[in-house]
């Protein structure tokens, strides 16, 4: 058994379109959606040579990968996660789904002629909150984006309290299945679908419906300027690369005059994790952010901000990574209107309430940055030479210029992005708090066993209430005009937060810590 660290909220990436744009380059555009329409019959499908385009409704911030397993193909929606390394699906006879609503599809081994049992009861992932998935290790054909990986090894869950499958695309050293095996990204290379073990992630803005992930290549139309190269850090033992861990030297907020307020006191090591929607940061940083924004707490780790205080400002966030890399993030990507995160407060503290997309990590870490940051960054994950390439994203890009990475490459190629930078950084006029010295690193220490998968799903609760019990958005009461003090705690009886998409069982699984049902 291996233990995984679980983030607060899951990011699920929906690979709805696919293009084989050049030899050994695979591009999978990503679409956001969050209701049960994704589980219904697919519609709006058109096929061209090497291209698969699908149209689905966008009603939230849930992202799933549309894949198939078996022969004939059985369709699934799986969580796309750079923070874990195993793929697994739910078994058709899984007992937990008789009580709780499971989503994303079920796998029937008897219906697949290419199914093979590798190890009975060999799949077991236990998460930090004691949620887990257990089952067999199997192999079967795995289809995605018009290609089929033959005999991919994956888990088949018979018991779970996560309620959907996962598609991990991290390092094979981070696998939960023993012994180590060629996972999804390994198989793409070994079976000749891509030349180089790397992929590039473009999520686009919170409001946009689509993004893209390119396996084996880089899309230079999706970012602006040169890619900055940051070496990935090894684990504390210094022997392996289990996660996409890089140093974060600075996290600041910059106002429209260029004045910056720094929130870090020292460099921390962060995981660039698409499996986490928010940020998990040290308590000291969260305290400073909450004070700066006059945010209020619901008492369970969630913070809320009066959006009216920032309606006409040009405040943005800046992230300093590596030696000299700065990524600028719009204020609204991290302080998010509630309707865009699919939740609503019963008794909101402000007339115009936003949720802060940052929460306190466990003491000592690990520290993670998810899609609240990654949407503003174009990130190349190089699993061959252990590097991260990063640049300012180009929001709203509708064109593509895919460049494949040669199998003999010694690292990420120096490709300049042709996209438009709509977030050109200001030169800070002053800084209210001195930025930390990069050499004073406070390295995060994971609480999991070495090599355990990181952040592959949601923070689990003992149970999830059926969708019918979710209070609809219409029940939200008007906000009090009184302004709570900074760091105040909401004192309403009963659940503070309810989901707006009550008809969607999948949307309930976004963040079980945000849905405090008994």
Query: So which residues are the catalytic ones?
Result: 81, 273
Closest among 352, 349, 344 to 483, alpha carbons compared: 349
* Residue tagged 């180089």 (tokens): 196
Q: Which residue has the tokens 């236990």?
A: 126
Residues 6+ apart with CB under 8 A from 302: 355, 356, 359, 496, 497, 513, 514
What are phi and psi for residue 40, nearest 5 degrees? -85, -175
Please, what sign has the CA dihedral across residues 358, 486, 347, 335?
A: negative
Residue 43: helix, strand or coil by DSSP?
coil
Phi first, then psi: what are they for 95, rounded to 5°? -70, -35
Q: Which two tokens stand for residue 67?
A: 């894949």
Alpha helix ranges (H) inside 170-316: 184-190, 283-293
Dig out the tokens for 402 from the structure. Answer: 């895919």
Alpha helices in 122-211 (DSSP H): 184-190
The Cα 488–Cα 496 span in angstroms is 14
Contacts 24+ apart (CB under 8 A), 111-114: 111/70, 111/72, 111/74, 112/69, 112/70, 112/71, 112/72, 112/74, 112/140, 112/141, 113/70, 113/71, 114/70, 114/71, 114/140, 114/141, 114/150, 114/151
- DSSP codes joined into one string, 299-325: SSS-EEEEGGGGTT---EEEEEETTTE
Distance CA 358, CA 302 (A): 8
Residue 373: phi and psi, rounded to 5, are -95, -45
- The b/e string for 37-63 (b: 16+ C-beta within 10 A; e otherwise) is bbeeeeeeeeeeeeebebebbbbbbbb
SS3 261: strand
Separation of alpha carbons 88 and 72, rounded Å: 18
Cα separation, 413 vs 38, in Å, equals 37
């Amino acid at each position: 058994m291996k233990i995984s660290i679980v983030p607060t909220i899951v990011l699920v990436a929906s690979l709805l379109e696919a293009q084989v744009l050049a030899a050994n380059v695979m591009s999978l555009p990503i679409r956001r959606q969050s209701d049960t329409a994704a589980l219904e019959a697919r519609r709006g499908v058109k096929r061209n040579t090497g291209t698969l385009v699908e149209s689905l409704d966008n009603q939230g911030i849930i992202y799933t990968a549309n894949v198939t397993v078996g022969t004939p193909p059985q369709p699934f929606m799986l969580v796309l996660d750079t923070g874990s390394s195993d793929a697994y699906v739910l078994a058709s006879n899984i007992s937990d789904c008789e009580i709780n609503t499971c989503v994303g599809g079920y796998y029937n081994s008897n219906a697949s002629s290419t199914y093979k049992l590798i190890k009975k009861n060999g799949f077991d992932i236990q998460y930090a909150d004691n949620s887990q998935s257990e089952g067999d290790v199997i192999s079967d054909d795995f289809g995605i984006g018009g290609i089929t990986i033959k005999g991919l090894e994956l888990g088949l869950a018979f018991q779970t309290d996560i309620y959907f499958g996962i598609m991990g695309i991290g390092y094979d050293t981070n696998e939960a299945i023993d012994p180590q095996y060629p996972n999804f990204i390994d198989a793409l290379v070994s079976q000749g679908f891509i030349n180089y073990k790397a992929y590039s992630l473009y999520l686009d803005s919170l409001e946009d419906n689509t993004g893209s992930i390119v396996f084996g290549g880089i899309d230079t139309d999706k970012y602006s300027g040169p890619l900055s190269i940051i070496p990935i850090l090894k684990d504390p033992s210094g022997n392996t690369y289990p996660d996409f861990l890089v140093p974060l030297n600075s996290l600041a907020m910059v106002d429209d005059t260029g004045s910056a307020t720094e929130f870090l006191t020292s460099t921390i090591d962060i995981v660039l994790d698409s499996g986490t929607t928010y940020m998990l940061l040290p308590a000291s940083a969260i305290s400073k952010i909450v004070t700066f924004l006059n945010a209020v707490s619901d008492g369970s780790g969630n913070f809320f901000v009066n959006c009216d205080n920032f309606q006409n400002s040009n405040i943005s966030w800046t992230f300093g990574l590596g030696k000299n890399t700065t990524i600028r993030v719009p204020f609204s990507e991290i302080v998010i209107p509630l309707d865009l995160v699919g939740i609503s407060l019963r008794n909101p503290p402000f007339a115009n309430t936003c949720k802060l997309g940052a929460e306190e990590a466990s003491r000592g870490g690990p520290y993670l940055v998810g899609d609240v940051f990654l949407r503003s960054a174009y990130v190349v994950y190089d699993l061959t030479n252990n590097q991260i390439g990063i640049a300012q994203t180009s929001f709203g890009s509708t064109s593509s210029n895919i460049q494949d990475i040669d199998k003999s490459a010694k690292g990420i190629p120096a490709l300049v992005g042709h996209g438009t930078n709509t977030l050109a950084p200001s030169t800070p006029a002053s800084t209210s708090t001195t930025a930390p010295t990069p050499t004073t690193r406070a390295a995060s220490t994971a609480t999991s066993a070495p090599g355990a998968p990181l952040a592959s799903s949601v923070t689990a609760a003992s149970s999830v209430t059926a969708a019918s019990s979710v209070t609809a958005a219409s029940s939200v009461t008007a906000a009090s005009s009184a302004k709570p003090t900074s760091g105040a705690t909401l004192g309403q009886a009963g659940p503070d937060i309810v989901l707006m998409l009550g008809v969607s069982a999948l949307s309930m699984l976004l963040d079980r810590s945000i849905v405090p049902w008994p």
